[in-house]
Chains A and B, each alone.
Chain A
């Protein structure tokens, strides 16, 4: 069974840091591109970041550029998102999602991990 399981969310202070993880199983992780997508409480979906299958190409939303870093460890079947300089507006459920070309749609999603930024 294909599975994505996020972890690492929690409460952080403004200016603080968190590291999110997404552990995958049931497919050859090293052959798939991946995204992080977030959803603030009561709001819509927001794409956050993309990483290629070998980790050499990364893209970020303008709202997180310079503060968040996406990475992956194909040997550990894991995707990561390092969140630095956190702001209240980063409060959201963070989902990892598998990317399928062509079209770069997301065919498998995790259940999400919640990040709350508050003092």
Chain B
């Protein structure tokens, strides 16, 4: 079965740029979505089709997908961005990465 791999944790200084990676075999051939989940809340999509932002998602969220790796980038990270982030793709079934806890220092 298809697998997506994320680092368990990423730390970033307030106002700096955070990057969260998601790796999978030939991932660039798939559409990748990214979800933000804060404690006690339901997930919220922050990017879809690798780099598109739903309405209401700040411009500081951006994405890329090349080769075997997709990347979620948060520029000018704010305290409110501290959350768990999950990548997701479709490969004859839905697949989520294991999630990355983003800590804003």
Residues on A lying within 8 angstroms of B by beta carbon are 35, 37, 44-47, 50, 59-62, 95, 100, 102-107, 109-112
Contact with A along B86-105 (1 / 0, CB 8 A): 10101011111111000000
Contact assessment for B94 and A50 in the assembled complex, using a CB-CB cutoff below 8 Å: yes
Contact assessment for A44 and B94 in the assembled complex, using a CB-CB cutoff below 8 Å: no
Residues on B lying within 8 angstroms of A by beta carbon are 1, 31, 33, 35, 37, 42-45, 48-49, 54, 84, 86, 88, 90, 92-99
The 9 tightest CB contacts between A and B, nearest first, are A47-B94, A103-B31, A105-B33, A105-B48, A44-B99, A109-B42, A104-B90, A103-B49, A45-B96
Tell me which residues across on chain A come within 8 A of B86, comparing CB atoms: 44-45
How far apart sit A44 and B94, CA to CA, in the bound complex (Å)?
14
Which of A50, A59, A100, A105 is B88 in contact with, Cβ under 8 Å? A105
Which of A46, A50, A62, A107 counts the most B-chain CB atoms under 10 A from its CB?
Answer: A107
How far apart sit A4 and B43, CA to CA, in the bound complex (Å)?
13
Contact assessment for A105 and B99 in the assembled complex, using a CB-CB cutoff below 8 Å: no
Contact assessment for A45 and B31 in the assembled complex, using a CB-CB cutoff below 8 Å: no
Q: Which residue of A lies closest to B33 (CB)?
A: A105
Tell me which residues across on chain B come within 8 A of A44, comparing CB atoms: 84, 86, 96-99
Given A45-B86, A105-B49, CB of A61 within 8 Å of CB of B93: yes
Q: Which residue of B lies closest to A6 (CB)?
A: B42
Given A44-B99, A109-B42, CB of A104 within 8 Å of CB of B31: yes
Q: Which residue of A lies closest to B8 (CB)?
A: A44
Tell me which residues across on chain A come within 8 A of B31, comparing CB atoms: 102-105
Further contacts, 7 of them, CB under 8 A, given A45-B35, A50-B94, A109-B44: A44-B84, A45-B37, A47-B88, A59-B92, A60-B93, A105-B49, A110-B42
How far apart sit A74 and B42, CA to CA, in the bound complex (Å)?
24
Which of B37, B45, B99 counts the most A-chain CB atoms under 10 A from its CB?
Answer: B45
How far apart sit A23 and B88, CA to CA, in the bound complex (Å)?
24
How far apart sit A89 and B98, CA to CA, in the bound complex (Å)?
17
Tell me which residues across on chain A come within 8 A of B99, comparing CB atoms: 44-45
